Amino acid sequence: MTNRGYIIDLGLMDYKKAWDLQHQLWSKRVEEALPDLLLFLEHPHVITLGRRGNRSHLLVSPEVLEEMEIPVYHVERGGDVTYHGPGQMVIYPILDLKNYGYHLIRYISQLEEVILCVLKDFGIVGRRDPLNRGVWVDEEKIASVGVAIKRWVSFHGFSLNFETDLKYFELINPCGLEGKKMITMAKILGIEILREQLVERIIFHFKEIFERDWKEKILEEVLNPDSLSYSGVNFEISTKFQAPNTK
């Protein structure tokens, strides 16, 4: 497999469908039928529990969640409980970590570094918490990291709240942390955060840390091997960025 990588924007996708897709793409990456992949998407309202997930951190009954049409999935990523929904950017890197030094903790730190750099572009100062992975702004959490590694190929990834409706986090103890609050970029800055601008900055910093010849693809091209040899356009990322004006 050459030094390539594919970027795929999946838009709004049902969680179960995206979870199944990750498994499919992970398998192809393990077999070296595909290069490294970077998936961008948002999910309809959903709650997921990671490997350490404890249902005691769900603060409402299953009946309430069913009435709200919010499914719950127990998945193989690290971490506890989290919420995904519209206005939250979810990134699933499917990477062969043998090409990046085999180091799980370093990989998580690199994902956090991407988030910190993106926030800085928008004029937001984020920080790490050595006890609780992810990215924080003061005492509120803005991004969660939860990954799975099998046969040294990653899946799952991180989520960044840009215009998320925070009331849905009241259904859970986010990441299993009692009394901790979530925050969004829009709430901090008091402005609308444009999705396409956010995607551009994530890609720019991801490319700096995970060096590949990244190209934009659509999912159908990636799933059709006959298209892989000739399709794909260079994903041009500007090195110049002006943070939006805040109120």
pLDDT digits (tens, 9 = 90+) for 147-185: 999 999 999 999 999 999 999 999 987 776 777 899 999
Active site residues: 175
Q: Which two tokens stand for residue 204?
A: 């720019």
Residue type, 176: G
pLDDT level of residue 226 (50, 70, 90 thresholds): low
Whole-angstrom CA distances from 169 to 6, 117, 164, 180, 230 are 32, 25, 10, 10, 44
| Residue pLDDT, tens place only, 8-26 | 999 999 999 999 999 999 9
Whether 95 shows a pLDDT value over 60: the answer reads yes
Q: Which two tokens stand for residue 243?
A: 């943070």
Q: How far apart are CA 72 and CA 82, in angstroms?
A: 10
CB 232 within 8 A of CB 215: yes
| Average predicted confidence (pLDDT) for the chain | 88
Mean pLDDT, residues 208-212 taken together: 92
pTM beyond cutoff 0.95:
no
Domain boundaries, the chain: 4-234
Mean pLDDT, residues 73-84 taken together: 86
pLDDT at 201 (0 to 100): 97
CB 94 within 8 A of CB 6: no
Burial class (CB in 10 A: 0-12, 13-18, 19+), 196: exposed
For 38, the 3-state DSSP assignment is strand
Whether 214 shows a pLDDT value over 50: the answer reads yes
CATH class of the domain comprising 4-234: alpha beta
H or E element at residue 220 = helix 219-223
pLDDT level of residue 230 (50, 70, 90 thresholds): very low
Mean pLDDT, residues 198-227 taken together: 90
20-29, 103-112, 188-197: lowest mean pLDDT where?
103-112
pLDDT at 231 (0 to 100): 36
49-63, 66-80, 101-115, 135-149: lowest mean pLDDT where?
49-63
